[in-house]
Structure 1
Amino acid sequence: MKPDNRIRVMEIIARMNVGGPATQVAGLCERLDSDEFDHRLYAGYVDGGEGDHLNLRDTLIPVHRIPGLGRSVRPADYRALRRLVAAMREFRPHIVHTRTGKAGALGRLAVRLSGVDAARIHVFHTPLPRGRPSRLRRSLRVRPQRFVTARFVAAGCDRLVTGGFNVRDDLLSAGVGRLEQYVVIPPGVQLGPIPDRMAARRSLGIPADVPVVAYVGRLSRVKRPDRFVEVAREVLERMPDCRFLICGGGELREEVERAIRPVWDSFRLLGWRRDVETVYAAADVLLLTSDNEGTPLALVEAGMAGVPVVSTRMGSVDEVVRDRRTGLLADPDVAELTDHTVRLLKDPSLARRMGEAARRWTTRAFGVDRLVTDTEALYRSLCGVPR
């Protein structure tokens, strides 16, 4: 029987769809010291068309379901708020730990309405755009409600967590929170066993001797799969035997299918997979083409698999990828991304050196045990702090 003087943590996330937030939550749920922490997860349901992290990873994590706490904002959200208030009054958490904007906003309101004396932590996984454009330009590029929500959530928090310093600085420059609220905790990942390269290629139907470029992530606007396809076409002009793996799904899947139809035989659309390690094992390069990123777990996973990456220089990407040592970074420019990709594909010894350096770096800096240690220390620091 667990001791009854444990620190009670109520973790709230909108949904456990495949991606960085769900991976982090799962790692904490599985590894936090249960003798010291009573950690409970509250989440909505995954929308149709998205991969469910818990199902794909066969993760047996208890989840307290909150209907309505999903991706979209709906008039019925007040029901989710009522359920959160009731859950807080029953659980009496010492700490309420929220992720994603909707969960953060409802979590803040629920703390106020429930009357519990809980410390508040919110994690910003998705950053605001990099750079410091004028207020007018920024307001045109990002939905105003995203800023309003971020500032509302930050104002009610004891601590704000980001996965990288660049993301923290971008949020501060946008007026979200105060410096003393922020704690930087890099993500933590544990990748499964990496299969043999040839076996991985056979299972995916790829020839053993062709160059392979992989995309791992959601097929969404911000990830720019259209730019990935543009780069692929340019690479094929120089290396016609190259193959491209797209591992993931999302609202742009049909659009991607139409775009690759003229070069269909060069692509494999894999959807969401349980065995993402197979995709990394089969690849020579991982290509990330996003317009905006936080601290992308696909880059961490690729590094742990010994795969060098080519990526746009966004968010805290340069805190994961050591440019010209573990991969190559570029502006969001098709020509530059193409040149970097072809360079690694045509120089296997360079790719191998970068991949090995990436394996050493990511294993040391982004292990899940380090994430758990940092998070436990954050929880302890907030117990007994006046609010």
Structure 2
Amino acid sequence: MTVGEAAPQVGALLRGLDPDRFEQRLYAGPVEPGEPDYRRLRAADVPVRVLPELRRTGRPADHLRALAALVTAMREFRPDLVHSHDPLSGVLGRAAAVACRVPIRVHSFHDHPRAHRRSSTSPRQVPAVEWAFARTSSALVAVNAQVRDELLAARIGRPDQYTVMPPGASLSPVPDRAEARRRLGLAEAGPVVASVGPVNAVKRLDRVLTVARAVRRRMPDARFVICGEGDRLAETVAAAEADNLAVTFLPWRPDVETVYAAADVVLLTSDHEGTPLALIEAAQAGRPVVATDVGGVAEVVRHERTGLLCDRRDLDGLCRAVLRLLGDAELRRRMGWAAAADTREAFGTPRLVAATRDLYHRLAMARGGWTPEYAEPVPMLARAR
């Protein structure tokens, strides 16, 4: 339940699926030291059963203990369906489900599994492991068409197993710009560019600093905000201070909508992405985006309609795009309005819950576990009542 794409999706399902139709249990590993806890920040109401051994940095013996704990839990709960997220949990969850003869097994890919560099599994082993476990799965969920196509190209799963299901996000009411800047301690006047997300190697915050240098040469009153935490935070802060850049660093906030509301432009500079929640949230807040055209970004940001996309190697292009938006208030307004309109339904939480419910229902019906007149479904270690 660290801050990232999977935790908000799982939280939405725990909250959104009808409790009269679904009994759910969520198992997760502990949040690692230095990582932000999504449950503490934005999902205190979501019940989680923590398995101390279920950790990415654990040893093989810890993984075996986590597997044994999951087998014990499934034998006690006797679920109709197990839905796993995250590479390690996908392996252990499906292994336990096979051992316990759980009839329906679903796994979600929030990115290509090789993108998870912190996994203890060697990159060379990933395709073989996922190939084997795909054969045990009733259905596979990909957050976008590109992730699905990359997995199929790696011979992970069959086309008929896949459902493309974009993530869903729901922001709290967005404050007005002046109030948001007051809350964050920012000057009411002057342009603000915000970057929201983990501060790690993949997100390439060094590019944000490069853009900040270029923009401030043209617009000295421009300010940049970086909201997030991660293993590259200290060096990013040091680099910003060394160049005397006007960058405000914020920790993860439960009211992330305040950060978007304070910004004129949202910037994402990643080397790789699945379907980034930060861009969905920025769009829902009515903010235009400048982003590197990687992963599923183009499925969220429509170039020249809701934002501007650049090649990840084109730093000059990123700088020009940010300057173009900061210099054209009408273009920002038009793109922000289009972004909010495009994402309201396509990437809303109700759509995610409904799509997941329908998937579970289809799988249960196919196995004779649900009658047409009763219609509706089963999640996360879920048992029909």
| 1:240 matches 2:220 | yes
Aligned residue in 2 for 1:125: 110
Distance 1:122 1:175 in 2: 16
1:45-69 per-residue CA deviation (whole Å, 9 max, x = no partner) reads 1001111111011521111221111
The answer (yes or no) to whether the contact 1:127–1:315 under 8 Å persists in 2 is: no
Aligned residue in 2 for 1:189: 169
The answer (yes or no) to whether the contact 2:168–2:351 under 8 Å persists in 1 is: yes
1:92-120 per-residue CA deviation (whole Å, 9 max, x = no partner) reads 11111000000001012112222x23211
| 1:204 matches 2:204 | no
Higher RCO (Cα < 8 Å, 6 or more apart)? 2
The answer (yes or no) to whether the contact 1:200–1:282 under 8 Å persists in 2 is: yes
* TM-score, normalising length: structure 2: 0.90
Going from structure 1 to structure 2, the CA distance change for 1:188 and 1:351 (only over 3 Å counts) comes to same
Aligned residue in 1 for 2:335: 354
The answer (yes or no) to whether the contact 2:114–2:126 under 8 Å persists in 1 is: no
Among candidates 361, 364, 375, match of residue 380 of structure 1: 361
State how many pairs are aligned.
Answer: 360
Shift of 1:264: 4.2
**1:163 maps to amino acid:** V
Shift of 1:153: 3.1
State the SS of the aligned residue for 2:286: coil
Aligned residue in 2 for 1:104: 90
**1:279 maps to amino acid:** V
Among candidates 302, 307, 319, match of residue 327 of structure 1: 307
1:259-302 per-residue CA deviation (whole Å, 9 max, x = no partner) reads 11134450111011111011000001110111111111101000
The answer (yes or no) to whether the contact 1:105–1:152 under 8 Å persists in 2 is: no
Equivalent positions of 1:1-387 (< 5 A) are 16-75=1-60, 76-114=62-100, 116-127=101-112, 143-264=123-244, 266-332=246-312, 333-386=314-367
Shift of 1:159: 0.8
Distance 1:216 1:155 in 2: 37
RMSD of aligned alpha carbons = 1.7
Structure 1, 301-310 or 161-170: larger mean CA deviation: 161-170
The answer (yes or no) to whether the contact 2:109–2:140 under 8 Å persists in 1 is: yes
Shift of 1:129: 7.9
Determine what percentage of the aligned residue pairs are the same residue.
49
**2:346 maps to amino acid:** A
The answer (yes or no) to whether the contact 1:129–1:292 under 8 Å persists in 2 is: no
Distance 1:152 1:230 in 2: 43
1:175-233 per-residue CA deviation (whole Å, 9 max, x = no partner) reads 22111110011111110010121011112121111111111100111111122222222
The answer (yes or no) to whether the contact 2:114–2:123 under 8 Å persists in 1 is: no
State the SS of the aligned residue for 1:28: helix
The answer (yes or no) to whether the contact 1:122–1:153 under 8 Å persists in 2 is: no
Distance 2:82 2:72 in 1: 14
Distance 2:244 2:158 in 1: 49
* Structure 2: gaps of 5 or more residues: 116-121, 369-385
Distance 2:175 2:110 in 1: 30
Shift of 1:384: 4.8
State the SS of the aligned residue for 1:383: helix
Distance 1:226 1:144 in 2: 29
Distance 1:185 1:174 in 2: 20
Distance 2:69 2:99 in 1: 11
Distance 2:297 2:184 in 1: 28
Distance 2:127 2:206 in 1: 27
Shift of 1:163: 1.4
Shift of 1:154: 2.0
* Structure 1: gaps of 5 or more residues: 1-15, 131-141
Going from structure 1 to structure 2, the CA distance change for 1:372 and 1:359 (only over 3 Å counts) comes to same
The answer (yes or no) to whether the contact 1:155–1:177 under 8 Å persists in 2 is: yes
**2:70 maps to amino acid:** L
4+ runs deviating over 6 angstroms: none
State the SS of the aligned residue for 1:324: coil
**1:266 maps to amino acid:** A
Shift of 1:128: 6.0
Structure 1, 97-106 or 200-209: larger mean CA deviation: 200-209
**1:354 maps to amino acid:** M
The answer (yes or no) to whether the contact 1:127–1:292 under 8 Å persists in 2 is: no
